[in-house]
Amino acid sequence: MKHRIFRHNKIISALLLVFLLSGAFLSGCGRESVPYSESGFYFNTVITITVYRSKDARVLKDCLLLCDDYEKKLSRTLQGSDIYRLNHSGGVPVTVSEDTAYLLGQACKFAELSGGRIDPTVAPLMDLWDFTGQAADKNAQKKIPAAADIQALLPHINYKNILIDGNTVTLTDPQTQVDLGFIAKGFIADRLKESLLEKGVESALINLGGNILAVGSKPDGSPFEIGVRKPFDTQNTALTTLSLSDRSLVSSGVYERYFEKDGKRYHHLLDPFTGYPVENGLLGVTILSSSSMEGDALSTTAFVLGPEEGMALIESLPDTEAVFITEDYKLHYSSGLSGKQSAQNP
């Protein structure tokens, strides 16, 4: 089943590259280290789950079923999903699943953390701009939305319009629309990891379209190596690599969904205060954290806050690191990654 959902989140392995360095997955570990993978198309992206013991391969189908279940809850375009029903409720209270209510609450928490600079009710603006498919067709004749149309939507974009009471959710403004794209894949990755651990899996890699989450390390005990892609590079060149053991890496950037008009680039990371793409000198932000949900939300939060305020936020959080890429293609690391400062800058 191929549903298009989560329209403003990171897509199709865009920002992170998984490296199989030096044949590490296949050397020195015997047949037990041969990777077993399953892929599917969910959340408007290709997802891949990989395990490294033959006896663990049986759990892969269950992972895809879990993805299908979450798609049916969290898609905003799939009729009958929790979010679809909420967005079409006309302000009438809607009973949703426990997972959906929890994730809505977390989305509002990060919206508050950012001072409203990220907002789960930005969906109407995303529809108006329509960045869908831009990575595949940069020469499409896209139109910049009329200022009057943007201004007409802004009063309805406010996460405080989401009222949560247990599993009952009400949009207090009937014209408010919810999209959980900046947080949902991270949440789902965490749930997949929990499921794998409960089933005894000790080494696995979860890739939800570029949201990477490691279960343990490689079979030989060494970390996974994840490359951070050079923005706008068509050869998938990595600016730097980060080691990953039992942690998550998630990126947000301006270089996957965008279009150019009259020499100016318009990307999909929108400022809910102005209705226009954020302009702050950043090309991308990558977050390293234990929770993929938090990393997912923080990658967008830190990006929209900008290089100084965004880095200050990361430095204030425990067990969280970041790499910022500025428009000059320089890499800026949080203090916990200070050892990476010698990484090559182009």
Do the Cβ atoms of 331 and 239 come closer than 8 Å?
yes
Q: Quick check: 52 and 60 in contact, CB under 8 A?
A: no
300 is in an annotated binding site: yes
Mapped to the 3 state alphabet, what secondary structure does 245-288 carry? CCCEEEEEECCCCEEEECCEEEECCECCCCCCECCCCEEEEEEE
Tokens of 107: 């989305």
The tokens describing 51, both together, are 């395990």
Please list, in sequence order, all residues whose beta carbon lies within 8 angstroms of the beta carbon of residue 155, skipping any fewer than 6 positions away.
none
Residue 173 is labelled as binding a ligand = no
Residues 96/86, Cβ–Cβ less than 8 Å? yes
H or E, element range at 104: helix 98-113
Residues contacting residue 165 through CB under 8 Å, at least 6 positions apart: 93
Cβ pair 64, 55 in contact under 8 A: no
- In 3D space, the residue among 248, 242, 229, 235 whose CA is nearest the CA of residue 299 turns out to be 248
Task: Specify whether the CB–CB gap between 88 and 82 falls below 8 A.
Answer: no
* Residue list, annotated binding site: 296, 300
* Residue list, annotated binding site for Mg(2+): 296, 300
